Amino acid sequence: MTSHIRPAVTVFAALTLICGVLYPLAVTGIGAAAFPGQAAGGIVEVNGKAVGSALIGQAFTSPRYFWGRPSATAPMPNNAAGSGGSNLGPYNPALLDAVKGRIEALRAADPANTAPVPVDLVTASASGLDPEISVAAARYQAGRVASARHISREQVLALIERATRPRWLGFFGEARVNVLALNLALERAQARG
């Protein structure tokens, strides 16, 4: 019996050391060295205070700010501990009602805007934490933000243009705008006068 226990305990200890200690340390070290900003959570600081993460969406509700994608995380929106979509199918009445309500809220916040509402402003991403919106979604909100801040729409469009991140490697994905970065750029632009 002892001849079976000793090898089993040795294999258990070796696998625990490799899989439970060495591998996590190696992956954490490589991540911190290769991607230091992302490994630290993408925390964005202003005047030494953390104001959010460039990697996780935040709920902006004031008309003075650009709004991000809706979040389907539970138990609250943009909950990084509860990442996940709503799992509602495209013909699910609950999803259709939620989209209709979001369209109505966008129309109520900017009644003069008759442009089609970009889909990413009314549907949650698969993670429910998307920090970025399409360029079309940012441009859709430009009039509301400009009016609320008493600045020209052209100034807001210029900020959107500067904040736009192109396709990755020129052809992967779509051009996009980080909502937190754009809102911080708005604040800086207004502070400069």
Structural domain boundaries enclosing 111: 42-192
Same-domain pairing of 30 and 51: no
Query: In the chain, what is the straight-line distance between the N-terminal and C-terminal CA atoms, in Å?
Result: 81
Provide the whole-model pTM: 0.81
Per the document, the length of the chain is 193
Question: What pLDDT, on the 0 to 100 scale, is given for residue 193?
Answer: 65
Q: Roughly what angle, to the nearest 10 degrees, separates helices 153-163 and 135-149?
A: 140
Percent of the chain with pLDDT over 70: 99
Both tokens assigned to 33: 């060295």
Residues lower than pLDDT 70 in the chain? 193
Residue 192's SS3 state is: helix
Same-domain pairing of 151 and 98: yes
In the 8-state DSSP scheme, what is residue 170? Answer: T
The total number of structural domains that make up the chain = 2
Same-domain pairing of 47 and 79: yes
Question: What pLDDT, on the 0 to 100 scale, is given for residue 129?
Answer: 86
Same-domain pairing of 14 and 75: no
Same-domain pairing of 92 and 154: yes
Question: What pLDDT, on the 0 to 100 scale, is given for residue 64?
Answer: 94
